Amino acid sequence: MAYRLYRCYSHISSFQGLRGLPNYGLSCCVNALLQSFSATRELLPLLNGWTNDSGATEKAKNVPEHLQKTLQAMQGDRFLTDPHKSFLCCLDRNRIPMSVQHDADEVFLTIMNLIQEQMSDTELAQQIKHLYMVKVEEYLQCNDCTYIQSGETYLLSLPLPLLRGSNTLEDCFRDFFELQKLDNGNKCFCERCGEKTPSEQGFKLIYLPAVVCVHLKRFRYDNGYTKKLYSKVSFPPALDFKKILKQEQVSKSSEQPQSEWQYKLYAVIVHCGTAMFGHYTAYIKHEGDIWYYANDSHVSETTWARVEHTFGGSMGNDTAYMLLYRRTEGEREPECSG
């Protein structure tokens, strides 16, 4: 099938190694994600360790191969006006259609899943997953007999619910790991009691990866409509999870030293506009502590003060939607097993 892509740009900029990406139809969501993938310096070396030996038809649909080539082009010395065009076509073949408005977190998770499905080197695919994989313990305790049911699972992005009004990212993390009381119509079945009983349910942290991807849940469904929350969420340039989480919010099975829980922000994916008519851009920290703003084909140097304008609230419609924090230098790389 031939694809005819309509690009929209007046000037494509290349600034200090960052490349602008033309907007093909409604590709701003993928454009912003690609800027964050390029800024995730651990990702491309992993992709470069793999060669796709499949046939031409399968290659046309292979997301990890096209992502690899796109990031190589974005970071290479040769300037290309549209280094991501083949990647957009590849996503279209994988049911992420072009000229359709997408949710950035959903596309991110779909890309991660397609890498796992389509990468023939399962060990490398696991390393890419472990780059983002937050391990948590699912926890359910009966309040009548104290019987505990638990199991290990993982999240590639942390979906943090927001309160109306003002939030801090630290409070959002604490609320996410806070146990929820289940009673009245929400009781759960207890195997020991043999009936539905009041209980407490939630997550406990086991392991933090090299990159923590945060999804600020700004969209809610209400009476058949999607509505955007413009609530203020202040987030810091650095995080220390051992100062954020309570002791009871960490699983007893966690063996990760808390000295590995310090992180620095390096990418912010921003949603501009409303739930129905939106646009994505990205703030990227590149080479030291300098921030850059990527709005499709245009890239420019900016400041942390401008990033703070994406907190939301009274600051306008441009609101942070995804945050990427990297473990501080000198910490060990994520495990590759499991």
In this structure, which amino acid lies at residue 297?
A: S
Neighbour-count burial of 70, counting CB atoms closer than 10 A to its CB (0-12 exposed, 13-18 middle, 19+ buried): buried
Q: Where are the alpha helices (DSSP H) in 94-132?
A: 104-118, 122-132
**Of all helices (H) and strands (E), which one includes residue 155?**
strand 148-155
Residues 87, 95: Cα–Cα separation, whole Å: 13
In this structure, how many other beta carbons lie within 10 angstroms of the beta carbon of residue 131?
20
Cβ burial 282-295 (10 Å sphere, 16+ → b, else e): bbbbbeeeebbbbb
Helix (H), strand (E), coil (C) string for 246-280: CHHHECCCCCCCHHHCEEEEEEEEEEEECCCCEEE
Question: What order of strands is seen across the sheet that includes strand 180-182?
Answer: 148-155, 134-142, 199-207, 180-182
Rounded to 5 degrees, φ, ψ at 121 are -85, 95
Tokens representing residue 122 in the block: 């399962």
Residues 149, 191: Cα–Cα separation, whole Å: 9
Residues 330, 9: Cα–Cα separation, whole Å: 40
For the annotated catalytic residues, the residue numbers are: 28, 279
Beta-bridge mates of residue 70: none
